């Protein structure tokens, strides 16, 4: 009998993340715009709002003492940001037009050369760079560092950035979003109040912008509550990356395809690696794999370790030292999985939360920035005297659809879906899609949910390299390298079915890059199921569990990884 993670759903529903305001009116924190998430989307929104406040102080005055608040669950802005990252500067140039030049932004350098390699176990065969992957005039950046810089810019323009603050519920009153509720802090594992307990609060906002990034809990609840989701489901990839100090500079950005992934259609392994120079003395290296894969033994973390043993990759890292490690998912459904609408009463949605990612180009940062900027302009319109909030917020959808972002995503609309048919067929279809700029095929290819893939079990794990602590690392030392210092007695923020078939338990155990899940040996019960043990404090909030049947919910603010270089 085939086993699918979707048949063992998490005990979670969208209504868990939606509530009416409960704090007495005089205890609510009133803000003009509440932005959830200090990533490129949320911070671009805060910066644009700050610029508009400068230009129109009278309207800013009407937004009260805190006109713009940005809530971020990470310890500091940037703590939870992880990306490749080669960034297209286009959207940042528009955002900062006339205020900041590209050479004032915290980029590590311009891309001066690039290679795409097809790997076999021992060889690296150069192939022409597909047009979607060309990075001419783009810049390498640490998203974590860019996030810190954008956060400072937002604050200098009047935004209040609140780190260590997780938004746990969307406040909805009379069919309208009226703000968010922040999570409690200082509870024990069983939910009991500890000495340092601080209750969450209602943050009442005239407009709420959700910029939660991948797997956003409130975003997912809003899509469901307001009927915004696309007919086609969203799907994700998991990226695991490391930052290395290296002995010799890398002179180009490198992408690889092929090994260590398997091409066979039955495995559904789609992905590749990226290796980017970060200045002269650092390199960032990562492996990205679509979460529609089927083999319960697959571990993206271990595939990255295996990749580093390839002669062509090992050469780049020789004499170097690993500085940081991290993991995060990427929405990969593309154009066909975009929501029907990007707004609801009192609410705007942007960035990765709604899947604004160009999968073949591995780009999302400039789309996040552009969507944040456009969301800010729509919110601002609604503050004009006599303006209709409904029409103003609806204008956000119109601006998105008219923007270059929409065109970019439309041109690659079915690419990810094509690779569900295997590497070679997918590659051929993708070429036809590139040539016709998205007009082929005439009808969209169907997307299959990650959690609905039936599982297979292979001996793949036996070929992962052992950790040597120099080139290759195990998961626990990697969690340490993410800076994660979450206390062990925090409430569990992972929702999974308690008893599942062994295949599902093994899938979660191997998939999770942070060693959160464990299946005790010989633990099969009379029902034929096993009980998964979990260590939630290891979690780096990558979101993969949500794609494969469970649910990551916002943990206590300030917990999780503390990235600085990713
Ligand atoms: C491995 C990898 C490689 C990539 N490479 C590239 C690349 O080279 N170039 C490129 O352009 N793009 C790349 N991307 C994609 C890019 O990183 C994303 O598209 C981009 O970061 C999306 O920005 P965002 O602001 O929407 O979300 P995010 O960057 O994810 O930021 C969201 C923020 O919201 C916070 N948050 C979430 N929920 C809550 C909550 N409930 N309460 C409070 N705070 C919350 C998070 O902690 C986070 O700080 C890559 C992604 C990955 C994972
Ligand atoms: S438990 Fe955390 S780190 Fe592990 S897969 Fe789930 S979200 Fe990612």
Query: What secondary structure does DSSP assign to 126-158, as a single string?
Result: EEPPPGGG--TT-EE--HHHHHHHHHHHHHHTT
Distances (CA, A) of 9 to 423, 452, 484: 29, 11, 28
Instruction: Report residue 532 as tokens.
Output: 């998964």
Spatial separation of the C-alpha atoms in residues 324 and 385, rounded to whole Å: 50
Which of 37, 44, 148, 557 has most ligand 1 atoms within 8 Å of its beta carbon, as the pocket-test mutant? 37
Which of 364, 416, 564 has most ligand 1 atoms within 8 Å of its beta carbon, as the pocket-test mutant? 364
Crossing angle of helices 404-411 and 389-402, rounded to 10°: 50
The domain locations on the chain are: 25-98+145-233+335-411
pLDDT of residue 522: 73
Distances (CA, A) of 560 to 513, 514, 557: 13, 11, 9
> What's the pLDDT tens digit per position in 136-172?
999 999 999 999 999 999 999 999 999 999 999 999 9
The ligand placed nearest to the CA atom of residue 543 is: 2
Residue nearest to atom 2 of ligand 2 (CA): 539
Could you tell me the strand order of the sheet in which 321-331 lies? 124-127, 114-119, 253-258, 271-278, 282-290, 236-245, 321-331
pLDDT of residue 143: 98
pLDDT at 81 over 70: yes
User: What is the distance in A from the centroid of ligand 2 to the CA of 20?
Assistant: 29
Tokens 């169907």 belong to: 446
pLDDT at 439 over 80: no
Give the position, in ligand 1's atom list, of the atom nearest the Cα of 77.
49
pLDDT at 342 over 90: yes
User: What is the distance in A from the centroid of ligand 2 to the CA of 391?
Assistant: 39
Quote the CATH superfamily of domain 25-98+145-233+335-411.
FAD/NAD(P)-binding domain (3.50.50.60)
Spatial separation of the C-alpha atoms in residues 339 and 332, rounded to whole Å: 13
pLDDT of residue 426: 67
> What's the pLDDT tens digit per position in 86-120?
999 999 999 999 999 999 999 999 999 999 999 99
pLDDT at 285 over 90: yes
pLDDT band (50, 70, 90) for residue 421? low
Spatial separation of the C-alpha atoms in residues 484 and 79, rounded to whole Å: 10
Crossing angle of helices 365-382 and 404-411, rounded to 10°: 140
Which of 139, 200, 213, 551 has most ligand 1 atoms within 8 Å of its beta carbon, as the pocket-test mutant? 213
Which of 209-223, 405-419, 495-509, 528-542 is predicted with the least confidence, judged by mean pLDDT?
Answer: 405-419
pLDDT at 427 over 70: no
Please answer whether residues 109 and 86 qualify as being in contact, where contact means their C-beta atoms are separated by less than 8 angstroms. Answer: no
Tell whether pTM > 0.95: yes
The stretch 465-480 carries a mean pLDDT of 98
- Average pLDDT for the chain: 95
Which H or E element spans position 273? Answer: strand 271-278
User: What is the distance in A from the centroid of ligand 1 to the CA of 81?
Assistant: 6
Does 541 sit in the ligand 2 pocket, CB within 6 Å?
Answer: yes
Spatial separation of the C-alpha atoms in residues 101 and 92, rounded to whole Å: 9
> What's the pLDDT tens digit per position in 475-508?
999 999 999 999 999 999 999 998 999 999 999 9
For 61-126, the three-class secondary structure string (H helix, E strand, C coil) is HHCCCCCEEEECCCCCCCCCCCCCCEECCHHHHHHCCCCCCHHHCCCCEECCCEEEEEECCCCEEE
Residue nearest to atom 8 of ligand 2 (CA): 542
Spatial separation of the C-alpha atoms in residues 163 and 71, rounded to whole Å: 6
Give the position, in ligand 1's atom list, of the atom nearest the Cα of 213.
27
């Amino acid at each position: 009998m085939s086993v699918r993670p979707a048949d063992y759903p998490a005990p979670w529903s969208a209504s868990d993340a939606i509530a009416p305001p409960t704090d007495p009116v005089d205890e609510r924190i009133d803000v003009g715009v509440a932005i959830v998430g200090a990533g490129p989307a949320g911070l671009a929104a805060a910066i644009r709002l700050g610029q508009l406040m400068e230009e129109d102080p009278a309207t800013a005055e009407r937004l009260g003492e805190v006109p713009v608040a940005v809530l971020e669950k990470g310890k500091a802005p940037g703590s939870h940001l992880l990306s490749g990252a080669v960034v297209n500067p286009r959207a940042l140039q528009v955002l900062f037009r006339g205020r900041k030049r590209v050479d004032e932004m915290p980029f590590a350098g311009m891309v001066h050369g690039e290679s795409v390699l097809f790997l076999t176990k021992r060889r690296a065969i150069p192939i022409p760079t597909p047009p979607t992957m060309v990075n001419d005039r783009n810049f390498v950046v640490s998203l974590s560092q860019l996030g810190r810089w954008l956060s400072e810019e937002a604050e200098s323009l009047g935004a209040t950035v609140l780190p260590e603050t997780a938004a746990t519920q969307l406040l909805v009153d009379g069919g309208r979003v009226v703000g968010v509720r922040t999570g409690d802090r200082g509870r024990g594992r069983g939910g009991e109040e500890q000495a340092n307990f601080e209750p969450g609060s209602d943050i009442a906002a005239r407009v709420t912008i959700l910029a939660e990034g991948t797997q956003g809990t409130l975003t997912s609840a809003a899509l469901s509550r307001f009927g915004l989701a696309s007919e086609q489901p969203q799907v994700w990839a998991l990226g695991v990356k490391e930052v290395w100090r290296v002995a010799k500079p890398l002179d180009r950005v490198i992408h690889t395809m092929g090994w260590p992934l398997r091409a066979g259609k039955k495995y559904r392994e789609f992905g590749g690696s990226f290796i980017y120079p970060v200045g002269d003395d650092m390199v960032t290296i990562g492996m990205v794999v679509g979460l529609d894969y089927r083999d319960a033994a697959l571990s993206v973390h271990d595939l990255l370790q295996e990749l580093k043993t390839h002669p062509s990759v090992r050469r780049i890292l020789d004499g170097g030292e690993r500085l940081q490690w991290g993991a995060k998912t990427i929405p990969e459904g593309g154009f066909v999985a975009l929501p029907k609408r990007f707004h609801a009463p009192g609410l705007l949605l942007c960035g990765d939360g709604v899947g604004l990612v160009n999968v073949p180009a591995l780009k999302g940062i400039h789309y996040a920035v552009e969507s944040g900027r456009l969301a800010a302009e729509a919110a601002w319109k609604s503050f004009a005297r006599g303006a209709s909030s409904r029409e103003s917020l609806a204008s956000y959808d119109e601006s998105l659809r008219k923007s270059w972002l929409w065109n970019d995503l439309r041109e690659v609309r079915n690419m990810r879906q094509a690779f569900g048919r295997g590497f070679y067929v997918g590659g051929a279809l993708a070429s036809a899609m590139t040539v016709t700029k998205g007009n082929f095929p005439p009808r969209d290819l169907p997307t299959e949910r990650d959690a609905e893939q039936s599982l297979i079990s292979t001996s793949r794990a036996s070929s992962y390299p052992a950790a040597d602590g120099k080139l290759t690392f195990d998961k626990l030392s990697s969690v340490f390298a993410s800076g994660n210092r979450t206390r062990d007695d925090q409430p569990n923020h992972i929702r999974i079915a308690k008893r599942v078939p062994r295949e599902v338990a093994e899938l979660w155990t191997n998939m999770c890059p942070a060693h959160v899940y464990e299946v005790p040996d010989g633990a099969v019960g009379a029902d034929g199921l096993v009980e998964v043990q979990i260590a939630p404090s290891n979690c780096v909030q990558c979101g993969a569990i949500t794609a494969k049947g469970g649910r990551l919910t916002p943990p206590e603010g300030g917990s999780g990884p503390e990235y600085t270089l990713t």
